């Protein structure tokens, strides 16, 4: 099996090469076949690989060396792939959900002019993302890391003729680049300290080389964390993700919900030893996660653009993952990534179908009454939203989020304050999920639907909906059922979560979480279905509207950065456009020109000037003679 590992990223790469080089000569069906087919075959290989992996003894690692990339002195990096349980989970999600989204896109992008370019970029993305999670050294990981950034840029700006789209693309690239730069400095520091960039070596050597909590390891961990923050749109680098919704919906589903934005989660859990050696970095991760999930959730409550609601919700859910990692609940974080990938991809795809059917209408308050018109979309969307709201026992989201809530209090790095933030986040999530369902699908119809989505689009939705329900059943809370298929696998790679001593019963926390979620759903129901008077009261109150606008603009982070960074930068570049050092040289040239003018003034051809010059000269010499 190992010798076929390379096929998993290679197939999408071949797809990309064919489509980008020969795209304009191919028919649409052929393009779709290559674009979706390559990822589907990758997914198949991954599934076969996954089955083999589950049968093999625990701790198995598949590796394949493709070629030696470079070797100079101690520095070496190979193009070699390495799969353990953690990578395998990511690969499964990437290829499987990737394949579904590619199939969906066949129909979704059918009428687009640049069909080949779309699939080429998507295939390149899948390839880069796979390299990211299959890399056995940090340089190759960085290759994938930047590669997904590039594809994200290309796909956000896919409809490049609209200024808002390419601005969003630029913003996404630049902001993630800031994180990436911090990360690569982290790589330099790791190499300086340990002399290697091979991931297994780093993990082993760091425990021997560093004392727990030493300044260097904390610095390394924080730098890596910054990389993760940029990619995963966490505070304070989260502002690019809502704008990134300018891309086509399948792009949002694949890149900005299921896979790329969770690259930060992958990086941190991959380098978990470094983080565990630095309690400070763990705390920072947890706090960033908790604050992000709360702030982004608040913004999601008031958004009117359906995709922006989902975008803020993605930021918020990744905040949960960071929180889980920060408190040391590694397996819970990865499990939430797993379930979140399904239901968030589902939500984006369904939202894409709604938008497409309503003639590119994004505003949820211009939707409504679609329950009867689009039943398949309605039911699948509802399943996704229920999973997002963590409806107890029947949805996958419940199982993963419940774990995180429990560990936010009880795990080694847990704290009641973190738990409180996570719990309020759960309430907010339930609230805006309900709001979304009620506003979009219930009530009166405000826009007449056009063409209903075809079968090619609905089948992926149904498959994803199935996993949004069933995906959670492989891992149950310990006090309910003893099924822990997922954590068994993950804990081959990641440490087992350590609990604090003297804890209250887990069931108490579960009940509180359930009650809070249900209360969130009820609040949404009361405000948006019953049209309670509170809403009208709020609409008239200036203070409430100020708060609403503040949240709508994402806590005004954009304005803050605009004033602090963007404007000064533009000012500096603008005033120095003509290069101030040039003044020095033009200055030298000017002095010579002036001298030239001066002397040519004397050399004017007037005989009388010359006579006067001679006279003055003589007088000067005579005076000198007399004086000296």
Partner 1 sequence: MSSIHAHTVLIVAAILFVLGLAGALIRRNVIFMLLSIEIMLNAAGLAFVVAGARWQQPDGQIMYLFILAMAAAEVSVALALVLQIHHQHKTLDIEQLKELKD
Partner 2 sequence: MILIWMICILLSGGILCWLTAQRLPLLAKWIALLTVIADMLIACWLFRVYEAFPDNTSWFINYQANWIPSVGISFHVALDGFSHLLLLLTFFLGILSVLCSWKEVREKTGFYFFCLLWSLAGISGVFIAMDLFLFYFCWEIMLIPMFFLIVIWGDARRRYAAYKFFIFTQVGSLLMLLAILALYFIHGRQTGNYTFDYFGLLHTVTDGATAKWIMLGFLFAFAIKLPVVPFHNWLPDAHSEAPTAGSLLLAGLLLKTGAYGIIRFVLPFFPEASVSIAPWMIFLGVTGIIYGALLAFSQTDLKRLIAYTSVSHMGFVLVGIFSFSNIAMQGVVMQILTHGISTGALFVMAGMLKERLHTRDITQMGGLWTSMPALGGVAILFTMASAGLPALGNFIAEFFILLGAFAGNPVFSVIATLGLILSALYSLRMLQKVFMGQQTVTVPVKDISTREFIIMAALSISIVILGLFPQPVIDTVRHLSTIHPSIHE
Q: Which does 69 bind (CB under 5 to 8 A by kind): partner 2, partner 1, none?
A: partner 2
User: Could you say whether residue 191 binds partner 2 (CB under 8 A)?
Assistant: yes
The single residue among 136, 146, 475, 506 that binds partner 2, judged by CB under 8 A, is 146
Nearer to partner 2, 166 or 466 (CB): 166
The single residue among 573, 600, 604, 625 that binds partner 2, judged by CB under 8 A, is 573
Stretch touching partner 2 by CB under 8 A, among 138-146, 268-276, 454-462, 500-508: 138-146
Whose tokens are 């969307």? That residue is 381
User: Could you say whether residue 52 binds partner 2 (CB under 8 A)?
Assistant: no
User: Could you say whether residue 567 binds partner 2 (CB under 8 A)?
Assistant: no
Contact set for partner 2, span 71-110 (CB under 8 A) = 71-75, 79
Interatomic CA distance for residues 220 and 228, integer angstroms? 12
Q: Which is nearest to 411 in space by CA: 314, 326, 305, 475? A: 326
Nearer to partner 1, 393 or 616 (CB): 616
User: Could you say whether residue 178 binds partner 2 (CB under 8 A)?
Assistant: yes
Interatomic CA distance for residues 491 and 364, integer angstroms? 42
Interatomic CA distance for residues 379 and 464, integer angstroms? 12
Interatomic CA distance for residues 419 and 520, integer angstroms? 17
Nearer to partner 1, 71 or 611 (CB): 611
Crossing angle of the two packed helices 28-55 and 85-108, in degrees rounded to 10:
160
For 367, half-sphere exposure in the C-beta direction (CA atoms, 13 angstrom radius) is 31
Q: Which does 55 bind (CB under 5 to 8 A by kind): partner 2, partner 1, none?
A: none
Are the CB atoms for 183 and 227 separated by under 8 Å? yes
User: Could you say whether residue 139 binds partner 2 (CB under 8 A)?
Assistant: yes
Q: Which residues contact 50 (CB under 8 A, 6 or more apart)?
A: 88, 92
User: What 8-state DSSP symbol labels residue 498?
Assistant: P
What is the per-residue DSSP string for 276-299?
HT-HHHHHHHHHHHHHHHHHHHHH
Nearer to partner 1, 450 or 613 (CB): 613
Q: Which does 241 bind (CB under 5 to 8 A by kind): partner 1, partner 2, none?
A: none
Interatomic CA distance for residues 233 and 241, integer angstroms? 6
Interatomic CA distance for residues 365 and 41, integer angstroms? 41
- Give the pairing of strands 62-72 and 75-83: antiparallel
User: Could you say whether residue 219 binds partner 2 (CB under 8 A)?
Assistant: no
Nearer to partner 2, 20 or 498 (CB): 20
Token duo for residue 309? 């609601």
User: Could you say whether residue 147 binds partner 2 (CB under 8 A)?
Assistant: yes
Q: Of all helices (H) and strands (E), which one includes residue 70? A: strand 62-72
User: Could you say whether residue 160 binds partner 2 (CB under 8 A)?
Assistant: yes
Number of residues located near partner 2, criterion CB under 8 A? 51
Q: Which does 607 bind (CB under 5 to 8 A by kind): partner 1, partner 2, none?
A: partner 1
What is the per-residue DSSP string for 295-327?
HHHHHHHH--BHHHHHHHHHHHHHHHHHHHHHH
Shortest Å, Cβ 628 to partner 1: 23
Interface residues toward partner 1, by CB under 8 A: 604-608, 611-612, 615
Shortest Å, Cβ 592 to partner 1: 22
Stretch touching partner 2 by CB under 8 A, among 206-214, 279-287, 567-575, 593-601: 567-575
Q: Which does 605 bind (CB under 5 to 8 A by kind): partner 2, partner 1, none?
A: partner 1
Shortest Å, Cβ 611 to partner 1: 5
Q: Which does 73 bind (CB under 5 to 8 A by kind): partner 1, partner 2, none?
A: partner 2
Q: Which residues contact 62 (CB under 8 A, 6 or more apart)?
A: 1, 2, 5, 49, 53, 81, 82, 83, 84
Shortest Å, Cβ 595 to partner 1: 21
User: Could you say whether residue 119 binds partner 2 (CB under 8 A)?
Assistant: no
The single residue among 57, 59, 163, 501 that binds partner 2, judged by CB under 8 A, is 163
Residues in the chain: 628
Peptide bond into 622 cis (omega under 30): no
3-state DSSP of 200-251: HHHHHHHHHHCCCCCHHHHHHHHHHHHHHHHHCCCCCCCCHHHHHHHCCHHH
Decide: helix, strand or coil at residue 603: coil
Contact set for partner 2, span 9-38 (CB under 8 A) = 20, 24
User: Could you say whether residue 442 binds partner 2 (CB under 8 A)?
Assistant: no
Shortest Å, Cβ 609 to partner 1: 9
Interatomic CA distance for residues 248 and 256, integer angstroms? 11
User: Could you say whether residue 585 binds partner 2 (CB under 8 A)?
Assistant: yes
Q: Which does 185 bind (CB under 5 to 8 A by kind): partner 2, partner 1, none?
A: partner 2
Nearer to partner 1, 581 or 604 (CB): 604
Please give the residue ranges that form the binding site for partner 2 (CB under 8 A).
20, 24, 67-75, 79, 117, 139, 142-143, 146-147, 150, 153-154, 157, 160-161, 163, 166, 169-170, 173-174, 177-178, 180-181, 184-185, 187-189, 191-192, 572-574, 576-577, 579, 581-582, 584-585
């Amino acid at each position: 099996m190992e010798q076929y590992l390379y096929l998993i990223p290679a197939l999408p790469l071949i797809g990309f090469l064919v489509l980008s080089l020969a795209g304009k000569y191919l028919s649409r069906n052929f393009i779709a076949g290559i674009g979706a087919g390559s990822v589907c075959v990758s997914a198949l290989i991954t599934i076969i690989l996954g089955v083999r992996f589950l049968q093999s003894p625990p701790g198995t690692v598949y590796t394949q060396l493709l070629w030696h990339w470079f070797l100079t002195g101690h520095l070496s990096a190979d193009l070699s792939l390495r799969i353990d349980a953690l990578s395998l989970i990511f690969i499964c999600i990437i290829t499987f959900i990737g394949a579904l989204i590619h199939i969906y896109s066949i129909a979704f992008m059918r009428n687009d002019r640049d069909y080949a370019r779309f699939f080429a970029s998507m295939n390149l993305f899948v390839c880069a993302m796979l390299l990211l999670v299959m890399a056995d050294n940090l340089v190759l990981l960085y290759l994938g890391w930047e590669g997904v950034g590039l594809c994200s840029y290309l796909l956000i700006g896919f409809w490049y003729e609209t200024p808002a789209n390419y601005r969003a693309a630029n913003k996404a690239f630049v902001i993630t680049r800031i994180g990436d730069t911090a990360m690569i400095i982290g790589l330099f520091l790791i190499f300086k300290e340990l002399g290697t960039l091979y991931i297994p070596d780093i993990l082993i050597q760091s425990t021997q080389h560093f004392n727990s909590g030493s300044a260097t390891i904390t610095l390394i961990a924080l730098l890596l964390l910054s990389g993760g923050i940029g990619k995963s749109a966490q505070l304070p680098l989260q502002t690019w993700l809502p704008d990134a919704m300018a891309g086509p919906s399948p792009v949002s589903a694949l890149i900005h919900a299921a896979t790329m934005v969770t690259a930060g989660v992958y990086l941190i859990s991959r380098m978990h030893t470094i983080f565990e050696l630095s309690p400070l970095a763990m705390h920072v991760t947890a706090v960033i996660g908790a604050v992000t999930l709360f702030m982004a959730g608040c913004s999601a409550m008031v958004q009117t653009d359906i995709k922006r609601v989902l975008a803020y919700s993605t930021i918020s859910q990744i905040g949960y993952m960071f929180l889980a990692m920060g408190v040391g609940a590694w397996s819970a974080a990865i499990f939430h990534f797993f379930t979140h990938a399904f239901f968030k991809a589902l939500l984006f795809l369904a939202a894409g179908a709604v938008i497409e059917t309503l003639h590119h209408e994004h505003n949820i308050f211009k939707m409504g009454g679609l329950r009867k018109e689009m039943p398949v979309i309605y039911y699948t969307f509802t399943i996704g939203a229920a999973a997002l709201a963590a409806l107890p026992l029947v949805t996958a989201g419940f199982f993963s989020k419940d774990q995180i809530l429990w560990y936010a209090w009880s795990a080694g790095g847990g704290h009641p304050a973190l738990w409180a933030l996570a719990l309020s986040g759960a309430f907010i999530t339930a609230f805006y999920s309900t709001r979304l369902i009620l506003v979009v699908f219930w009530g009166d119809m405000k826009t007449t639907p056009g063409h209903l989505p075809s079968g090619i689009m609905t089948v992926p939705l149904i498959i994803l909906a199935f996993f949004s329900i069933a995906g959670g059943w492989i891992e149950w809370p310990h006090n309910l059922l003893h099924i822990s298929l997922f954590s068994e696998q993950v804990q081959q790679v990641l440490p087992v979560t350590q609990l604090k001593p003297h804890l209250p019963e887990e069931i108490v926390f579960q009940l509180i979480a359930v009650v809070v979620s249900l209360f969130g759903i009820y609040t949404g129901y009361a405000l948006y279905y019953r049209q309670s008077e509170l809403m009208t009261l709020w609409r008239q109150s200036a203070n409430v509207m100020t708060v609403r606008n503040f949240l709508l603009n994402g806590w005004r982070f954009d304005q803050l950065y605009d004033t602090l960074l963007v404007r000064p930068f533009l000012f500096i570049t603008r005033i120095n456009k003509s290069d101030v050092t040039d003044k020095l040289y033009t200055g030298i040239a000017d002095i010579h020109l002036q001298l030239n003018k001066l002397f040519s003034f004397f050399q004017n051809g007037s005989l009388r000037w010359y006579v006067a010059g001679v006279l003055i000269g003589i007088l000067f010499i005579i005076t000198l003679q007399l004086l000296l």
